[in-house]
Chains A and B, each alone.
Chain A
Amino acid sequence: MTCEDLLAALNEVIDDASALDLYHEFAEHLTGCHPCQLVVDNIRKTIRLFRDGTPYPMPAAFEDRFRDALKAKWKAKFPDAVV
């Protein structure tokens, strides 16, 4: 297996915790290839930052306008509803 082969299979290595057990050639390549180890590690950290970074707060000024629009739509769909 080459770095090129691993590159094509990177998603599986990143997403599937069992990939390295199932596909011994991935594990064997990674064990002997420090650059590929770092690339996999870098990608895992990249995803972690985006996933765990501070969520975007919805602007407070938008909240009121948004609720009003929902209520108006709700009243149109359910004329008897209490909103």
Chain B
Amino acid sequence: MAPDPTADEPDDLSLLRRARGGDFVAFEALVGRLQGRVYGVARRIVGQSQDAEDVVQQTFLSVIEHLDTFRGDSAVATRVLRIATNFALKVLRKRRGLPTVPLDGAETFANVPHPDYIAQWRETPDQLLERAELREQLDLAISELDDKHRVVFVLRDIEGLSTRETAEAVGISEANVKVRLLRARLHLRERLTREFGDDATRLIPDHSHATGGTP
């Protein structure tokens, strides 16, 4: 078996502990590991490069400011993404001239939009990932989501945070994370299936049928 090239590298928490003692090299290494994810989260939430840069800078300046409060109670990356999310949400609030973005209202599963365009995709994800224009198509699709749904989708499905971590980052309940995630997934599915679906395989949904004896 090939040796793991990262086996001898310190983990994020080790770097953070060294940084807390004033080791800038360790801090820079930590920043190097996390800045891409932070920029990605910021870029997807705020949608603009300039604002995303501000979020990245504010995030890591805040990490320096609060180095002493970082503990090992949650993954360093998760904690940093949480800070970045807060700054990104502030950008959205400022942009709209609102004291708060209405991100905390409870949602229910009632009236979740039903899938309409249901079809097999013409190409596999691997084939689509090779296409140069995919980035633009994905950017457009995700930009159409409500802010409150987009934030949850970015943290849960792109960054892989747990439901609890996402709830803490956004400041909403876990139940609300689940509803918003479902709405985001259904919207994006509909959008991308209309783009990538094979019309010849389209199925008309029959919401009335049941299986397993449930009426």
Contact = CB atoms under 8 A, between A and B. Distances in A.
Given A8-B109, A73-B61, A56 B207 contact: no
B35 interface: yes
Contacts of A74: 24, 27, 64
A5 B214 contact: yes
Contacts of B9: none
Contacts of A33: 209, 211
A42 B65 contact: no
B192 A46 contact: yes
Interface of B, helix, strand, loop or mixed by DSSP: helix
B134 A51 contact: no
B43 to A, nearest CB: 5
B91 to A, nearest CB: 16
Contacts, number: 151
B205 interface: yes
Interface residues of B, number: 63
Interface string A30-67: 01111100110111011111111111101100100110
Nearest to B125: A48
Most buried by A among B192, B203, B212, B215: B212
A8 B109 CA distance: 7
Contacts of B112: 7-8
A25 B215 CA distance: 13
B212 A7 contact: no
8 contacts: A1-B211, A10-B182, A35-B205, A39-B115, A45-B125, A56-B39, A73-B61, A77-B64
Interface of B: 22, 24, 27-28, 31, 35-36, 39-40, 43-44, 49, 52-53, 56-57, 60-61, 64-65, 67, 109, 112, 114-115, 118-121, 124-125, 128-129, 134-135, 138, 142, 153, 157-158, 160, 178, 181-182, 185-186, 188-189, 192-193, 197, 203-212, 214-215
